Amino acid sequence: MYKHSFKALLIAFMLSLSACSLLQMDPIDETRDWSASKLYSEAKDELNAGGYDKSIQYFEKLESRYPFGTYAQQAQMEIAYAHYRQGDQAQALAAVERFIKLHPNHPNVDYMYYLRGLINFNDKLSIFDFIAHQDLTERDPKAARDAFDSFKTLIERFPNSKYSADARDRLAYLVNAMAQHDVHVADYYFRRGAYLAAANRAQVVVKDYSQTPVVEDALVIMVRSYDALGMPELRDDAKRVLKTNFPNSDLLASGGRRKDKNPWWKLW
């Protein structure tokens, strides 16, 4: 009997020690007594210092503890920006969409449309792309189209926004990028011998992106494609448009290859 009692006491003692150890291991939340302004200030400091994970944690605590008022709304915006700076595109876009849905009439909602455009504009952009000399226009154009839609919405809904001027510049870049992408596709088709597909894709560039520099390239692809297809009338029509709009063009003589290898997008 005494033996069983001793074992029971020993087990109880060990359990109490384990409980005490677990309690000691539990981290103390340093922010538990912080005010909304204190939380916001500390979160901003972390954000400005590049501590994105911690800043997001602070902003999320701020939003959950003080869900009403300007601090919570500002925290939601800052969370989106922190994810963007961190390179987490999916989380950044989710935070932006959530804010726009919850606060469609917020005085700073124009910034969120602008941020949404930036997130897509910089999709998968890194220093390694420049080291490898990858042409940005050869990527999947979905992000470019999403960025275009966001910047276009910003300009249409908030023409006087302080972000609209930059959005217009980026729109011009994106139009050129999307046109260049279609030229890449048309050229790919031509090099694979799919001449009809090449001509059709080049025609899209001429029709939809008539003010972009790559219309010259598209017309050259059309001339060469129709020639390969044995369609002299369409070939001559395309050649006539090329000579009329680009009288000094030497692309056709050079086989459609530009002598200047420096892509225009590097100036951005």
Mean pLDDT of 208-229: 95
In this prediction, what percent of the chain has a pLDDT beyond 70?
78
pLDDT at 199 over 60: yes
- DSSP codes joined into one string, the chain: -HHHHHHHHHHHHHHHHHHHHHHHHSPP-TTTT--HHHHHHHHHHHHHTT-HHHHHHHHHHHHHHS-SSHHHHHHHHHHHHHHHHHT-HHHHHHHHHHHHHH-TT-TTHHHHHHHHHHHHHTTT--HHHHHTT--GGGS-THHHHHHHHHHHHHHHH-TT-TTHHHHHHHHHHHHHHHHHHHHHHHHHHHHTT-HHHHHHHHHHHHHH-TTSTTHHHHHHHHHHHHHHHT-HHHHHHHHHHHHHH-TT--TTTTTT--S--S-GGGG-
pLDDT digits (tens, 9 = 90+) for 76-109: 999 999 999 999 999 999 999 999 999 999 999 9
Instruction: Scan for tokens 């692809």, then name that residue.
Output: 221
How high is the pLDDT of residue 69?
A: 82
**For domain 38-122+131-161, which CATH number applies: 3.40.50.2300, 1.25.40.10, 2.60.120.10, 3.40.50.300?**
1.25.40.10
Residue 248 has pLDDT above 80, yes or no: yes
Please tell me the distance from the alpha carbon of residue 166 to that of residue 152, in angstroms, as a whole number: 11
Q: How would residue 260 be classed by pLDDT, with cut points 50, 70 and 90?
A: low
Average pLDDT over residues 198-221: 95
Q: Between 210 and 3, whose confidence is greater? A: 210
Going by C-alpha positions, the residue among 210, 201, 199 that lies closest to residue 175 is 210
CATH topology of domain 173-267: 1.25.40
CA–CA separation, 214 vs 52, rounded Å? 40
The pLDDT of 148-171, averaged and rounded, is: 95
Position 144 scores a pLDDT of 86
Per-residue confidence at 125, pLDDT binned at 50, 70, 90? very low
Which residue spans of the chain are classified as CATH 1.25.40.10? 38-122+131-161, 173-267
pLDDT of residue 268: 41
Q: Is the pLDDT of residue 119 over 60?
A: yes
Give the amino acid at 32: R
Burial pattern 110-139, b for ≥16 Cβ within 10 A else e, equals bbbbbbbbbbbbebeeeeeeeeeeebbbeb
pLDDT of residue 115 exceeding 90? yes
Of 199 and 17, more confident: 199
Give the model confidence (pLDDT) of 4-28 as tens digits.
555 555 555 455 545 454 444 446 8
Name the least confident of 1-10, 70-79, 156-165. Answer: 1-10
